Amino acid sequence: AHRLTESRARWTVPLTEVLVKATSDGVALHVVLVGRESELPAQDGVPEHHLRVGPLPLRVAAPLLPGNRPHHVVRAYGVFGGLPRVLHQLDTSVTVGTNVRRLVLDLDGSLADAPQSWLEREVQKPSRYMAIMRTLAFGEADWGTIHDGVPDLTRSGQVAPYLKRLEQLGMIEVRTALDAKPGSRASRYQLSDPFLAFWFRFALPWRLTPQPHAPEPPLREHYADHIRPGIVSHMERMMPTLARRHMERESLETVGASVRECGSLWGPEHDIPVAGVLSNGAVFYGRSAWDAPPRDDSPLDRLDVDVRQTRYGFGRERRLRVVFSGRPAPTWLRREAARRPDAQLVEASELLGE
């Protein structure tokens, strides 16, 4: 629909007239407009419903992702995300690395400059927008951190219109802590899809070097030396979002109740990436990790410390601890979770519903 508006097609007036007539005649006529945003003017008597459809969730995207083991599929989602225009180009018969080399690192690849070209179609000068997204590629950040990532901005308020526009385009999301005081403006921003984070973190720096333009660019060597080792830390930053979205959608099978609210908790003395309230009134607190944590740094022990620093959920009869593990969890962590009636371990197979 937004393309029709941009081309100045005169379609809104007759469409509105048809809808008004259908409503007055009692005809159940429904028109679905698919696009970035609807420019249809509001009319009395014509009910409107707006639905923002974001990237596909992990379970829906899984059949389109490469990988023959659960944690391989989760890793593929952490690289290629859930955007249909990215997923339909993947070859599920080869590895994540091969897909990255063919589609992203090769200058002739269909995803080589995808996020940049998406921005260039929407904004006239994408450099500041790209600087913001480059900052967020390393994880969610607050206002000050984002401002510092755009060197030619002199005042912090100058970053506001860029963040607003990126949010309108569906490229970033803004979150407020569940335990924030009323009226608090302390927010965190994050990229809306893992592929955006992957491209701005790994592909953009590669494109700015002479190597991609060589007669025989070292695609395999660059992936092995610079990208594959960094995917571990990249997945660590993607896991909290995957965990929150799992609780929002599949908490019923994980903890036996649907979610009433879900988000994060943070403050001067605590930072809990996954938290919320279930429909049965219980509160849950969660931590996530891609690689197995060391035995002397138990995520359940860390949760216990953080929970004592927040009043969110204080006084509730049931307070659950949920640990999300991308790669197979070590035996000691499985045993620790099994010993505690208030603890639940969620691994890649559970994230995928297997």
Distance from C-alpha of 282 to C-alpha of 264, rounded to nearest angstrom: 16
Distance from C-alpha of 161 to C-alpha of 163, rounded to nearest angstrom: 5
pLDDT at 294: 87
The list of the chain residues with pLDDT below 50 reads: none
Nearest to 78 by CA among 59, 58, 92, 93: 58
pLDDT at 45: 61
Nearest to 200 by CA among 265, 251, 134: 134
pLDDT at 87: 96
Q: What is the pLDDT of residues 154-167, one digit of tens each?
A: 776 788 999 999 99
Q: What is the pLDDT of residues 15-73, one digit of tens each?
A: 888 888 888 898 988 888 887 665 555 666 667 777 777 899 999 999 999 999 999 99
- Amino acid, single-letter form, for residue 123: V
Structure tokens of 179? 């335990």
Which contacts of 307-315 are long-range, i.e. CB under 8 A and separated by 24 or more positions? 307/270, 307/272, 309/267, 309/269, 309/270, 310/179, 310/265, 310/267, 310/270, 310/272, 311/179, 312/178, 312/179, 312/265, 312/275, 312/283, 313/275, 313/277, 313/283, 313/285
Is residue 247 within 8 A of residue 128, CB to CB? The reply is no
